[in-house]
A and B are shown apart, each in its own frame.
Chain A
Amino acid sequence: MTRKYTDILSGLGFLAVASVFWSAGRDLTGVSRIFPSLLEVFLALGGLVLCVNGLVKSRKEKACDEMPVWGRVWLILISAILYAAAVPVVGFYVSSAVFLFLMAMIFGKAWTMAQVRLSLVFSVGLCLLIYLVFRTLLLVPTPAGFLF
């Protein structure tokens, strides 16, 4: 991605955030308002400057080295979201074991029995380790769903 696009996109991003906060804070009064308002103005102005910079100057240098493999990125992100949603419903250990196993398989080298064995050992093993350290040693409760 060239510098031009990163400038425009980031500028728009900052502008957008400033607007969201501004509209959410419309009914704030007095001293609560000062600090956020100053920041919203700063972000909006800065965002505009970035946008303008990007449009006006033709910076063709590359801003980042390699583009990520988008398929894999979306995969882990969506899976993580589903996982987080599942935890309070189904319970931490079950969700984690399933998540870990599936991810190990999908991102793994090949769909072989050896891979299945490795993924199982990994997912169950890690959950066991977490259970030992968090539940028994540190006595920290984990989100309980209707399963374990």
Chain B
Amino acid sequence: MLGYVITALGHIIEPLNILLMLGGLIGGIVIGALPGLTATMGVALMVPVTFAMDPISGLIMLGAIYAGAIYGGSNSACLIRTPGTPSSVATTFDGFPMCQAGKADEALQTALLASAFGGVVGTFFLLFMSEPLATFALKFGGPEVFWLCIFGLSSIAVMSRDNMLKGLLSGGLGLLISTIGIDPNSGVPRFIFGYYPLAQGIEIIPAMIGLFSFSQVMVLLGSNRQFIAEYSPSKGAFGRVLRKLVADCKINLLRSSTIGTIIGMLPGAGGEIASIIAYNEAKRWDKESARFGTGIIEGVAASESANNAVIGGSLIPMLTLGIPGSAVAAVILGALLAHGIQPGFKIFAETGDLAYTFIISQLAVNILMVPVGYLMAKVMAKILNIRLTLVAVAIVTLSFIGSYAISNSMLDVWVVVGFGVIAFFGGLVGLDTGAMALGIILGPMVEENLGKCVNLAKAEGSIWQVFLASPISILLILLTLLSILAPILLGLRKKCRKTPSCMETLS
């Protein structure tokens, strides 16, 4: 392997490849930052361009766009509460409040450093542990993914501590909405209210653009504010953030990056799920979890490191098994196949040059991201200086074209408006848009995998055997129970602390 790594380094410093890395990063960050344009779209559009290049350079460019776009989404998430890509949903929870409090620079730099860190961790796993991790990923079948999704949903209980019922109901609403469309188990259209285009279901990205950006437009214009937030460039923000991350957030970053890598490895689960789960875990294990949501560095760090770690994770099964771990990995796989390169464990031997150069380029890209992102963040933050009305109105137009561009369907534009209305009016009565988004994302996965469990039960005898068959399933079930019970137990413990007699009986 060392031999390949050294040759790979040699390729990386070729001028064309450096140019492609920088270009890909910048392009990716722009695509990621624009609401509605996703990493998948950006990479897919550049695939034909790679046909004219040698496969190594082509892959390097696609990888750079991937990393840049996933990071780029954090910019708009922090500045205008609009996740630029679905992976950055959880970044809005703390990133935007930080911005509103005048700490925009800190938010952006945290996102940058956390993204770079997460990307590096993901790539390390890819470089050193592909084989065992890929084999591990294969162990996640129908029941395991089902319990993972239930675990993800249970984290709603953590997300909305103060009104758990409304949070759970919001999640339930999201789940119900996700059933609109073709039933994954019987192939029959459901809840389309006689309007056939709804058979494609509610696309996640327009729904999120509606829930977060469009509703935010109504909130912003409905207030009488002049600017989105007070902004003055704060000197030394980069240094402050770096010191804080190193001092306080090591465990948070490592945990979130690991969660990101693992979820990235699972086909079907991607950045959105990873960042939300990482955020919830960070909140759960923090001593003062009530701070989350008010605008703290830990929240942004958790979300952004997780979603960039997903990149490395998603490439693990893609390169070793030809099974992509995310939509973008699927596109890159397509590019590989079109170039005539076969994935598989032998990709590290027969086409080892290509594989290792690609992986090392990911490391390089994540390091380059820091200066490039730093400069671009400075430019993007200037948006806060533009009058609010102009920015808000521009968001409407960008949301429309962005959501239209996904499947060239006006339905998606109406989804944006519809969900924006739901989120705005719902928000006034306590609807939890984060929980709802999680429901919409996880709903199809839950149903599809439940269907697989039911199918498998025919062979195993009973569905309980299927549910409890593997150690992974049991572990996930325990984690879910812990997730639901922990707030209750912690609450009891807090109450107990106040009564001396209770403390005695406990000890």
A and B touch in the complex (CB under 8 A): yes
Residues of chain A touching chain B, judged by Cβ–Cβ distance below 8 Å, are 1, 5-7, 9-10, 13-14, 17-18, 21, 24-25, 28, 30-32, 35-36, 39-40, 42-43, 46-47, 49-50, 63-64, 66, 68-70, 72-73, 75-77, 80-81, 83-84, 87-88, 92, 96, 99-100, 103-104, 107-108, 122, 126, 130, 133-134, 138-143
Known contacts A84-B414, A84-B417: A46-B168 contact under CB 8 Å:
yes
- Check if B421 is an interface residue, CB within 8 A of chain A: yes
Some 18 contacts from A to B, beta carbons below 8 A apart, are A5-B429, A17-B173, A32-B183, A32-B185, A35-B450, A39-B176, A46-B172, A50-B165, A64-B428, A68-B219, A70-B222, A73-B218, A88-B410, A103-B393, A107-B393, A138-B37, A138-B45, A139-B45
Q: Please list the 4 inter-chain residue pairs (A to B) with the smallest Cβ-Cβ separation, ordered nearest first.
A: A68-B222, A107-B389, A10-B429, A73-B222
Q: Are B179 and A50 within 8 A (Cβ)?
A: no
Q: Decide: A140 and B405 in contact? CB cutoff 8 A.
A: yes
User: Are A14 and B173 within 8 A (Cβ)?
Assistant: yes
Beta-carbon contact of B396 and A83 below 8 Å: yes
B residues adjacent to A (C-beta < 8 A): 30, 34, 37, 41, 45, 165-166, 168-169, 172-173, 175-176, 179, 183, 185-186, 188, 190-191, 193, 214, 217-219, 221-224, 389-390, 392-394, 396-398, 400-401, 404-405, 408, 410, 413-414, 417, 421, 424, 426, 428-431, 446-447, 450-451, 454
Complex Cα gap A30–B217 (Å): 42
Chain A residue, CB-CB nearest to B393: A103
A25 touches B389 (CB 8 A): no
Q: A103-B393, A104-B389 are in contact. Are A36 and B179 (CB under 8 A)?
A: yes
A6 to B447, CA, bound (A): 31
Which residues of the other chain, A, contact B408 by a CB distance below 8 angstroms? 141
Q: A143 to chain B: which residues have CB within 8 Å?
A: 404, 410
Chain B residue numbers with a CB within 8 Å of A69 are 222-224
Q: Which residues of B contact A141 (CB under 8 A)?
A: 408
A96 to B498, CA, bound (A): 60
B428–A43 CB distance below 8 A: no
Closest B residue by C-beta to A88: B410
Residues of B within 8 A of A50 (CB): 165-166, 169
Q: How far is the CB of B188 from chain A (nearest CB, A)?
A: 6
> Is A25 touching B413 in the complex (CB atoms < 8 A)?
no
The distance in angstroms between the C-alpha atoms of A13 and B247, with both chains bound, is 46
Q: B190 touching A25 by the CB < 8 A rule?
A: yes
Distance in Å: Cβ of A24 to nearest Cβ of chain B: 5
Chain A CB within 10 Å — which of B390, B393, B421 has the most?
A: B393
- A73 with B221: CB separation less than 8 A: yes
Q: A31 contacts B165, CB within 8 Å?
A: no
* Contact assessment for B191 and A24 in the assembled complex, using a CB-CB cutoff below 8 Å: yes
Dominant secondary structure at the A interface: helix
Given contacts A80-B417, A92-B401, A122-B390, contact A43 B173 (CB under 8 A): yes
Other than the given A36-B191, A43-B169, A130-B401, 12 more pairs (CB < 8 A) read A5-B429, A10-B430, A10-B431, A46-B172, A63-B429, A72-B221, A76-B217, A77-B218, A88-B410, A96-B397, A103-B389, A122-B390
Give the residues in chain A near B398, CB-CB below 8 Å. 130
Let me know if B169 and A6 touch, CB within 8 A: no
* Contact status A30-B186, CB under 8 Å: yes
Task: Determine the chain A residues whose CB is within 8 A of the CB of B41 once the complex forms.
Answer: 138
Given the known interface contacts A64-B428, A70-B222, the answer about A43 and B176 at a Cβ–Cβ threshold of 8 Å is: yes
Contact at B173–A84, with CB atoms within 8 Å?
A: no
Contact between chains at A17 and B413 (CB < 8 Å): no
Chain B residue contacts of A7, Cβ below 8 A: 430
Chain B neighbourhood of A68, CB < 8 A: 218-219, 222-223
* B209 smallest CB distance to A (angstroms): 13
- By a CB distance below 8 angstroms, the chain A residues around B172 are 39, 42-43, 46
B191 touches A10 (CB 8 A): no
Q: Is the CB of A46 within 8 A of B191?
A: no
Given the known inter-chain contacts A9-B429, A100-B394, please indicate yes or no for A46 contacting B400, CB distance below 8 A: no
Shortest CB-to-CB span from B359 to chain A, Å, is 28
Query: Is B401 a contact of A142 with CB atoms below 8 Å?
Result: yes
Interface centre among A69, A76, A88, A104 (most CB of B within 10 A): A76
Q: A32-B183, A103-B389 are in contact. Are A142 and B404 (CB under 8 A)?
A: yes
On chain A, the residues within 8 Å of B219 by CB distance are 68
Of A14, A31, A87, A108, the residue contacting B186 (CB under 8 A) is: A31
A6 CA / B398 CA spacing, docked (Å): 32
Given contacts A6-B429, A24-B191, A103-B393, A87 and B400 within 8 Å (CB-CB): yes
Residue of B with least CB distance to A84? B413
Cα–Cα, bound, A30→B172 (Å): 21
In contact, A84 and B400 (Cβ under 8 angstroms): yes
> Do the beta carbons of B186 and A81 come within 8 Å of each other?
no
Query: A13 is contacted by which of B392, B426, B447, B451 (Cβ under 8 Å)?
Result: B426
Known: A17-B176, A43-B172. A32 touches B186 (CB 8 A): yes
Closest CB of chain A to B41's CB: distance in Å? Answer: 8
Using A32-B186, A73-B218 as known contacts, say yes or no to A40 and B430 having CB atoms under 8 A apart: no
Residues of B within 8 A of A9 (CB): 429
B426 contacts across to A, CB distance below 8 A: 10, 13
Question: Is there an interface contact between A134 and B390, defined as CB atoms closer than 8 Å?
Answer: no
* A76:B45 contact, CB within 8 angstroms: no
| A126 engages B397 (CB within 8 Å) | yes
Q: How far is the CA of A81 from the CA of B398 in the complex (A)?
A: 15
Of all chain B residues, the one with the shortest Cβ separation from A41 is: B172
- Contact indicator B222/A14 (Cβ below 8 Å): no
Q: How far is the CA of A17 from the CA of B224 in the complex (A)?
A: 32
Q: Which residue of B lies closest to A76 (CB)?
A: B221
- B70 CB to closest chain A CB, in angstroms? 18
Q: Report B-chain residues with C-beta under 8 Å of the C-beta of A76.
A: 217-218, 221, 392-393, 396
User: Which has the most chain A C-beta neighbours within 10 Å: B185, B221, B424?
Assistant: B221
